[in-house]
Amino acid sequence: MPEPTPAKKDAAKEKEHPMGDPRYKGIDRVLKRQQYQQDALIEVLTAAQEAFGYLTEESLIYIARQLKLPFSWVYGVATFYHFFSLKPQGEHSAIVCLGTACYVGKAAEIVESLEREFCVKAGQTTSDGKLTVTTTRCLGCCGLAPVVVLDNNVLGKETPETTLAKVRQALGGGNGGNGGTPS
């Protein structure tokens, strides 16, 4: 059986696109607000990075398709600006939603507890490279507020205690970057 061409592989990837992931709703909201204007690319990429912690290949494919832009163009813009990252920044990532519903649910306290526990500021990675903590705007699943996305798992109804316990567990039971200097 012949090897699938790169184009076919890309098409297959598009079909497998994780549309069930609620984080895409946040991207959709920006797309709609910008009326799918191609010059809104930077804003849409920013929303995607906030939602996923970095720009996944799938999210770039999705954005290219939604804005009817060539993938190479979207990829070129994403790699041109240093504030976009195409790689997960830490071995693990904790993304805390600070949209209105989550904020009202005291999501800021979750951020503070992560910062304190792992000696890292939101938007940064622990010095041992184990954990990146970021914040984002509404992820589109406000019914679950406050929401934390830990390593691509959407966690709902979180508290500082439950999030810390899950992050500690994800880091292998230790206290992760505790004692480290944020990079």
Scanning 11-19, 61-69, 76-84, 99-107 for contacts with ligand FES by CB under 6 A, the matching segment is 99-107
Residue nearer to ligand FES on the CB measure, 78 or 102 = 102
Contact residues for 147 (Cβ-Cβ < 8 A; gap 6+): 96, 97, 102, 107, 139, 141, 154, 155, 156, 158
> CA 122 to CA 90: how far, in whole Å?
13
Q: Cβ of residue 22: shortest distance to ligand FES, in angstroms? A: 8
Site string for ligand FES, 102-141 (x = CB under 6 A): x-----------------------------------xx-x
Q: Which two tokens stand for residue 161?
A: 């205690």
Q: Could you tell me which residues are beta bridge partners of residue 94?
A: 133, 150
Q: Cβ of residue 24: shortest distance to ligand FES, in angstroms? A: 13
Residue nearer to ligand FES on the CB measure, 98 or 167 = 98
Site for ligand FES in 57-86 (CB under 6 A): none
DSSP-H helix ranges across 4-83 = 6-15, 24-33, 41-52, 57-67, 71-80
Amino acid at 8: K
List of residues contacting ligand FES (CB under 6 A)? 97, 99-102, 138-139, 141-142, 145, 147
